[in-house]
């Protein structure tokens, strides 16, 4: 049975997002659509994924900032629902995600004759972000240690290794799969299971539980 004797240890990192103002803002759907035409892709990424690292007292009703703003600032529940079901994981890249947003908004603009304006204090501010990465001092030496390691990971570590990693990898792989690939064919099924996990519609805490259970079931089966 193959081992990962020659594979480097998995270095556990943590992260935080530093918000950066773009200077662009919108008070109605037309303005939002127009800014989306050329807004940096990093801003779209932030407004879909950044909310996962924001501290909130309750689970948000809408997973991306566009849907939330449309619902509560423009009072458009129909458009908010359409925007809320857009899954960035299903998009090949951020440009594809931009086009999906534009198509949904264009359709809604065609349906409505009157433009709704948000109050001045509720206008949408386009924000980008820079990821700040920290070394935790923790490492994982063997794949079977993933069970215990992931169960203790911070939400920032999960975001960095399972979500943001897909943006950094040309193959759109999370860091766990990138680490397991050189370890041999015995982990091919585990990698397939990781590929099927969609982290967008769950909290990072729920994602941690899901991944811990996935690793636990896999390695329990391997040892039997």
Does any domain span residue 10? no
Number of domains forming the structure of the chain: 2
Task: Please indicate, yes or no, whether residues 196 and 103 belong to a single structural domain of this protein.
Answer: no
Q: What is the pLDDT of residue 1?
A: 36
Q: Which two tokens stand for residue 197?
A: 């996990």
The domain boundary residue, chosen from 93, 128, 163:
128
The answer to whether 31 and 211 are in contact (CB under 8 A) is: no
Task: Please indicate, yes or no, whether residues 124 and 190 belong to a single structural domain of this protein.
Answer: no
Q: What is the pLDDT of residue 60?
A: 80
Other beta carbons less than 10 A from residue 207's beta carbon = 23
Task: Please indicate, yes or no, whether residues 75 and 151 belong to a single structural domain of this protein.
Answer: no
Task: Please indicate, yes or no, whether residues 105 and 167 belong to a single structural domain of this protein.
Answer: no
Characterize 78-114 residue by residue with b for buried, 16 or more Cβ atoms within 10 angstroms of its Cβ, and e for exposed. ebbebbbebebeeeeebeebbebbeebbeebeeeeee
Q: What is the pLDDT of residue 17?
A: 96
- Residues whose CB is less than 8 angstroms from the CB of residue 200 and which lie 6 or more positions away in sequence, other chains included: 48, 49, 63, 87, 88, 89
Task: Please indicate, yes or no, whether residues 73 and 175 belong to a single structural domain of this protein.
Answer: no
Series of mean pLDDT values for 10-residue runs along the chain (224 residues): 66 97 98 98 97 80 96 97 97 96 98 94 97 97 97 98 94 96 92 96 96 97 56
Q: Which two tokens stand for residue 14?
A: 């943590």
Does any domain span residue 136? no
Q: What is the pLDDT of residue 57?
A: 66
Instruction: Determine the structural domain holding residue 93 and report its residue range.
Output: 15-128
pTM for this one?
A: 0.91
Task: Please indicate, yes or no, whether residues 63 and 163 belong to a single structural domain of this protein.
Answer: no
Task: Please indicate, yes or no, whether residues 62 and 103 belong to a single structural domain of this protein.
Answer: yes
Does any domain span residue 160? yes
Task: Please indicate, yes or no, whether residues 152 and 88 belong to a single structural domain of this protein.
Answer: no
Task: Please indicate, yes or no, whether residues 25 and 87 belong to a single structural domain of this protein.
Answer: yes
């Amino acid at each position: 049975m193959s081992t990962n004797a020659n594979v480097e240890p998995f270095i556990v990192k943590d992260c935080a997002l530093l918000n950066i103002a773009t200077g662009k803002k919108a008070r109605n759907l037309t303005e939002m659509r127009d800014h989306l035409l050329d807004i940096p892709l990093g801003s779209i990424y932030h407004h879909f994924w950044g909310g996962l690292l924001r501290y909130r007292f309750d689970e948000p009703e809408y997973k991306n900032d566009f849907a939330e703003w449309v619902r509560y600032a423009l009072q458009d529940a129909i458009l908010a629902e359409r925007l809320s079901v857009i899954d960035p994981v299903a998009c090949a890249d951020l440009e594809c995600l931009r086009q999906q947003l534009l198509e949904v908004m264009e359709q809604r603009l065609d349906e409505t004759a009157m433009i709704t304006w948000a109050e001045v204090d509720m206008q949408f501010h386009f924000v980008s972000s820079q990821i700040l990465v920290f070394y935790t001092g923790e490492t994982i030496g063997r794949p079977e240690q993933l069970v215990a390691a992931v169960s203790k990971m911070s939400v920032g570590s999960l975001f960095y290794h399972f979500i943001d990693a897909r943006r950094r990898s040309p193959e759109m792989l999370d860091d766990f799969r990138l680490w397991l690939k050189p370890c041999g064919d015995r982990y091919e099924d585990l990698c397939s299971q990781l590929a099927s996990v969609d982290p967008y519609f769950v909290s990072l805490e729920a994602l941690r539980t899901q991944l811990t259970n996935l690793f636990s079931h896999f390695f329990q089966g391997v040892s039997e």
